Amino acid sequence: MGTIRTSDRGRAGARDIAVWDPLVRMVHWGLALSVLVNGALTDEDGIVHEWVGYAALGLLAIRLLWGIVGPRPARFASFPPSPGAAVRHLGGIAGGDRTVHLSHNPLGALMVYNIWLTVAALCATGIMMGSLRFFGVDWVEEAHEAAFSWLMISVVLHVGGVLFDSRRSGVPLARAMLTGRKSVPADRPVV
Amino acid sequence: MTGRDPQARRAATLAALIVAQGLCAMFFVGDVIADIGVDVAESRFHLPLEAFVATVMIFGVIYFMIELRRLLSRMAEMDTGLRAARGDMAGVIERFFDDWELTPAERDVALMVLKGIDNETIAAVRGTAPGTVRAQCTRIYGKAGVDGRAQLLSVFMEELLAED
């Protein structure tokens, strides 16, 4: 991973750098799909809703393991949660810095951890709601609803951030999550 | 792009297996959680068995993950090797061109000849007459001491295949 090849068919002067391995991509789109399915399609009290919830938890668990054993760009060490770095990154954006980050940029990293935590909270409260001990307990249900609302806000911010950073850095980020390769314009510094 | 080469396909297959097996493991873990506290007669063996299956599957997932990481780093190494070879080849070509004292225009034409582009296209790309390109080629072959296109190529092929 992290290897560079000059793109033959891509835009002229762009370097194609492999960043997202297939497992990262499958987990990403699988999680997105399960959020979509459970948020919009399934019956909230149904068994399918529960299964999809467990699937989301499974995907999350896979990703967390992969964050330890996976290749460099997938590892937690490549995108530590650092509010300080995120603030500096914001300052850099304001100052016209167009550095390209090969893994998540510091703001994106915060969003990643935020979404993982929120999904974990959703799964935990969801499992509790189905358990005998917490069945029908109000605060659990309220926490589940609140976590879902927060997840929707996060998804909007996430998609907005991806669109914004694709324009700012000139790297089509959504495509990178599909193909695994970031196509970085030749004149951009890379971190 | 995952289907680009066999190794990329293998990596994608491994990743899909990891996801599938991870989800199956999750199913068993979920069942274990659901069964805890439920007092069924069969649960005395049911629960430990499920817990065992879940554990085995999780170890399988970790094993596959380590395999996938190995495969990915091998792919990255090969990519780097190829790039290095390409970089070396470019250097070799430059050195020969220097030796033959080609002019900048001749270097341009020679490089295109090496890439297998025909004279008409070279003329069109460079915005010159085909006759000019033919004359440049003749000078290039003369400086290189070869008879034509094929022999010019063979100079570099020999460099690639040489064992020393």
A66 — contact with chain B (CB < 8 Å)?
yes
Interface predicted TM-score (ipTM): 0.80
Statement: residue A97 has pLDDT above 90: no
Question: Is A23–B68 a contact, with Cβ atoms under 8 angstroms apart?
Answer: yes
- The domain covering A22-180 belongs, at the CATH homologous superfamily level, to Transmembrane di-heme cytochromes, Chain C (1.20.950.20)
Domain B100-161 = CATH 3.90.79.10: no
Question: Is B73–A69 a contact, with Cβ atoms under 8 angstroms apart?
Answer: no
Q: What is the pLDDT of residues A49-86, one digit of tens each?
A: 988 999 999 999 999 999 999 888 889 988 888 888 88
pLDDT tens string, chain B, 164 residues long: the values are 444 578 888 999 999 999 999 999 988 888 777 776 666 655 667 778 888 888 999 999 999 999 999 999 888 888 777 777 777 778 888 888 988 989 999 999 999 998 889 899 999 989 999 899 999 999 999 999 998 888 898 888 887 776 65
For B73, the closest of A30, A54, A71 (CB atoms) is A71
For B15, the closest of A2, A23, A179 (CB atoms) is A23
Q: Where does the pLDDT of residue A128 fall: very low under 50, low under 70, confident under 90, or very high at 90 and above? A: confident
Q: How far apart are CA B63 and CA B46, in angstroms?
A: 26
Q: Break chain A into its structural domains and give their ranges.
A: 22-180
CA distances from B28 to A133, B19, B57, B128 (A): 21, 14, 9, 72
CA distances from B27 to A38, A53, A70, B20, B30 (A): 17, 11, 23, 11, 5
